Amino acid sequence: MIKRALIGSPLLIEQTKGHSFNLDTVLLAKFLKFSTKIKNVLDVGTGNGALLIYASELTKAKLMGIEFQDIRYNLAISNMKLNHLEDRSEIVLGDYLTQTYHHLDCIISNPPFFNTPEKSKLSQDEGSRIARHELNLPLEDFIKKVSVDLKFGGYFYMVHRADRFTEIMRLLDRYQLVVKRLKFVHPYMDKPANHVLIQCIKQGGQSLILEPPLIIYKDKHEYTKAFEDYIGGKIDVT
């Protein structure tokens, strides 16, 4: 078990190899904005609780997480206690698609990125398979349920692959989740975006803020100043 500070935060995280959080989580955490009107936040696929711990610095809202895998669930419970968040957090072990939530203020998620490939192409590690592929959380089912669970005017934040952006936008529109902020993340200045950060409001107005793109590297193994400023700390997501 490894204990260390979160990137850009004094709060702590405990993790084991294979059950850590990754840079996607940090990118989304730094994209979050919460108003004082938000009284509850649900993290779908909370993993070891890293995204909720980041959120705790931005809001006084109740912190809720749901995790499908018991190892990650137990880590999330432990990390809430480590950061003295157990009194304002609630972590559930289960399948998000079968859980009942009503009129949530905000849902956040770093969901599985990949369509389910042929079995021969899947990772041999079950935990990695579930975290990376839509085995238990197909994208359309996920977005549809987010819309059901949010109250009118509720917020939805997600990080995903940029090459699925058209599909994502179509599904968000279908389920009345209006995109309000977008930020594309590029590995290099001259390379296509590989991630997109999305903020939606359920049945919100049509105005959209397209934020400046974030470029991670200026050279091999050399981060841009804009990226370092964005994440606010030394990068070590192993």
- Domain limits at 176? 2-231
In a domain, 38, yes or no: yes
Is residue 47 assigned to a domain? yes
User: Residue 35 is part of a domain; what is its CATH number?
Assistant: 3.40.50.150
| 51-60, 158-167, 215-224, 229-238: range with lowest mean pLDDT | 229-238
The pLDDT assigned to 234 comes to: 61
90 near 46, Cβ under 8 Å? no
Domain count for the chain: 1
Backbone angles phi, psi at 192, to 5 degrees: -60, 155
The contacts of residue 148 (CB under 8 Å, 6+ apart) are none
Looking at residue 133, the DSSP 8-state letter turns out to be B
Q: Is residue 158 within 8 Å of 111, Cβ to Cβ?
A: yes
Six-digit token string for 99: 């859980």
Measure the CA angle with vertex 153, ends 148 and 154; round to 5°: 60
Q: Are 56 and 85 in contact (CB under 8 A)?
A: yes
pLDDT at 170: 98
Helix (H, G, I), strand (E, B) or coil at 184: strand
Look at residue 129 and tell me if it is in a domain. yes
Task: Report if residue 238 sits inside a domain.
Answer: no
Q: What is the pLDDT of residues 82-140, one digit of tens each?
A: 999 999 999 999 999 999 999 999 999 999 988 765 444 445 554 454 445 557 899 99
Rounded Cα gap, residues 135 and 128, in angstroms: 11
Q: Identify whether 157 is part of a domain.
A: yes
pTM, entire model: 0.90
Taking residue 162's Cβ as centre, other Cβ atoms within 10 Å add up to: 15
Category of 153 on φ-ψ map: left (φ > 0), alpha (ψ -120 to 50) or beta: left
Instruction: Look at residue 14 and tell me if it is in a domain.
Output: yes
Residue 237 lies in a domain: no
24-33, 114-123, 195-204, 223-232: range with lowest mean pLDDT: 114-123
- Antiparallel, parallel or unpaired: β 104-109 and 40-44: parallel
Whether residue 104 is contained in a domain is answered as: yes
What sign for the dihedral angle of Cα 189, 33, 26, 146?
A: negative
